[in-house]
């Protein structure tokens, strides 16, 4: 009985060390190795499991899918430094500002476009908070509503491709799906790719944006004092609207179409499309005269830091996963989920609730690399579609980014919001948008084809 509890204890101790603030990769690997040493001394762990580690590390180094990570990160940082968000927000304000709730529409649409071009949640929330929150407050917007719109639109990068979350989930789910099929005796397993998740996320992502816009429109109609229109004399309308659209809106849209269109059209893999995006971002920065050697140096350093963090966490998670399996943790998890009330539906609800709660304190990268490899094969063996499961996980993690009191997006905005905006107002502002995301999760649970129809149509499955 005590031996069966060791994998669960390993998981709990690993989470506790992470929450204590120690470096993620070292926490995962260090905790796992400590348990492995103690287990070896007690005769409950076979050190032969660790002999698979070199092969796993070599597999990480040679994984072509993961090359998309530094390329998309590079693309996002270049666009962040080239003032794309500034130009987009100016253009959208000129288009919608004279409507009640126009700034809310503008922020949401800019968040969608930034999500489809950068995919970096923290940078989007901070950028939008610095650029749009003071303007919205100055125009008389309810601080709670303004904060909610910025936080919600800033997290769209979790679900709208090209998303770093979907890249990492695609790689992890691919391994989990193959393992699940092998466990079921299928020795010619099918695969799921990052491209499948990208295509599958389009309809749910756009549906979520539509829900946000409908809510903003409803509030503007029922509470006009909370979302007043921008005066016609505002400086945003002094210059030519067509010129603003050409300079501010057209270039990023072309870049988005080039990246996603090449994937949807079957002309490029996500990794190849990421290289198109990286080159396109550089050309866009050059065209807007926002690229210099100093900026390029900052971009390279930022890309190196983020990429190194992701891959170091992946290495630490590989050690953790091996030790967890060495203690029989995968069997225990399968037994627990299989014996829950409600069968496979009870299992998926339990896993989603666990990920939602872990999202309060752990980053999506840690959850993707630690939790998904453990529960993924079990859920997929129960018959759940891998694309649907990946989109559900991504939406779930996005919801946890918004949920008080530990949602990361809330911390990002709190760091750049004016002192006149209270933390309580930020928390209150995101509650309706959390409700919309939960609604979308329920809709997707009832109609999985929202996530699976487009990949099947595009790839002819």
Q: Classify residue 165 by burial, with Cβ atoms within 10 Å: 0-12, 13-18, 19+.
A: buried
pTM: 0.82
Of 105, 139, 318, 136, residue with least CA distance to 214: 105
Asked if residue 193 is part of any domain, the answer here is yes
Given this model, what pLDDT does residue 24 score? 74
What is the predicted pLDDT for the residue at 432?
93
Q: How many CB atoms lie within 10 A of CB 118?
A: 28
Round to whole Å and give the CA distance between 232 and 167: 43
Run of H or E residues at 276: helix 270-287
Structural domain tally of the chain?
A: 1
Host H or E run for residue 387: helix 386-402
Whether residue 154 contacts residue 128, with contact meaning beta carbons closer than 8 Å, is answered with yes
Q: Which two tokens stand for residue 156?
A: 């769209």
The answer to whether position 271 is within a domain reads yes
**At residue 23, what are phi and psi to the nearest 5 degrees?**
-55, 135
Instruction: Please give the residue range of the domain that contains residue 253.
Output: 48-459
Q: Would you say residue 14 lies in a domain?
A: no
CA atoms of 95 and 105, how far apart (whole Å):
10
- Grouped pLDDT means (10 residues each) for the chain, 461 residues: 75 79 81 88 82 81 81 81 74 75 85 74 74 83 90 86 84 85 75 85 93 92 83 52 72 83 80 86 83 86 85 83 81 79 86 83 76 86 89 89 78 82 88 93 92 83 57
| Residue of 391, 403, 402 lying closest to 448 (CA atoms) | 391
Q: Is residue 7 part of a domain?
A: no
Cβ-in-10-Å burial (0-12, 13-18, 19+) of 240 comes to exposed
Q: Which residue has the tokens 């950028």?
A: 127
Q: Is residue 425 part of a domain?
A: yes
**Residue 231 domain-assigned?**
yes
Identify the pLDDT of residue 106: 85
- C-alpha Rg value of the chain to the nearest Å: 23
CA distance 53 to 72: 27
3-state secondary structure of 55: helix
Burial classification of residue 99, based on how many CB atoms lie within 10 Å of its CB (0-12 exposed, 13-18 middle, 19 or more buried):
middle
**Is residue 205 situated within a structural domain?**
yes
In a domain, 64, yes or no: yes
């Amino acid at each position: 009985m005590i031996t069966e509890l060791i994998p669960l204890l390993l998981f709990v101790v690993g989470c506790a060390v992470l929450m204590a603030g120690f470096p993620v990769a070292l926490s995962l690997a260090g905790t796992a190795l400590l348990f492995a040493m103690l287990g070896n001394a007690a005769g409950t762990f076979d050190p032969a499991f660790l002999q698979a580690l070199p092969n796993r590390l070599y597999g990480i180094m040679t994984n072509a899918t993961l090359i998309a990570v530094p390329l998309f990160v590079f693309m996002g940082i270049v666009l962040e430094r080239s003032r794309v968000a500034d130009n987009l927000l100016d253009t959208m304000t000129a288009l919608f500002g004279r409507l009640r709730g126009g700034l809310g529409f503008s922020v949401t649409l800019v968040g969608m476009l930034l999500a489809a071009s950068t995919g970096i949640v923290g940078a989007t929330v901070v950028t939008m908070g610095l650029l749009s929150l003071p303007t919205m407050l100055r125009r008389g917007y309810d601080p709670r509503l303004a904060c909610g719109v910025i936080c919600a639109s800033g997290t769209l990068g979790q679900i709208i491709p090209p998303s770093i979350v979907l890249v990492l989930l695609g790689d992890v789910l691919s391994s989990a799906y193959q393992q699940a099929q092998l466990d079921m005796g299928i020795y010619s397993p099918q695969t799921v790719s990052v491209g499948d998740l990208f295509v599958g996320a389009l309809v749910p992502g756009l549906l979520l944006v539509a829900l946000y816009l409908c809510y903003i429109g409803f509030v503007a109609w029922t509470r006009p004092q909370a979302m007043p229109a921008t005066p016609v004399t505002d400086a945003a309308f002094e210059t030519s609207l067509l010129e603003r659209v050409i300079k501010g809106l057209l270039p990023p849209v072309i870049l988005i179409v080039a990246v996603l269109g090449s994937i949807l059209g079957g002309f490029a893999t996500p990794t190849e499309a990421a290289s198109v995006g990286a080159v396109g971002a550089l050309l866009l920065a050059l065209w807007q005269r926002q690229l210099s050697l100093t900026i390029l140096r900052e971009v390279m350093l930022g890309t190196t830091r983020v990429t190194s963090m992701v891959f170091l966490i992946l290495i630490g998670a590989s050690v953790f996963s091996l030790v967890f399996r060495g203690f029989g943790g995968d069997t225990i998890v399968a037994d627990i989920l299989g014996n829950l009330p409600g069968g496979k539906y009870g299992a998926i609800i339990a896993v989603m609730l666990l990920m939602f709660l872990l999202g309060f304190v752990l980053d999506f990268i840690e959850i993707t690399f630690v939790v998904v490899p453990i529960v993924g094969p079990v859920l997929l063996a129960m018959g759940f579609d891998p694309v649907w499961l990946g989109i559900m996980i991504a939406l779930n993690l996005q919801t946890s980014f918004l949920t008080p009191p530990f949602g990361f997006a809330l911390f990002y905005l709190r760091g750049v919001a004016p002192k006149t905006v209270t933390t309580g107002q930020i928390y209150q502002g995101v509650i309706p948008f959390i409700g919309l995301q939960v609604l979308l999760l329920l809709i997707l649970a009832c109609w999985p084809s929202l996530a699976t129809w487009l990949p099947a149509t595009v790839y002819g499955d």
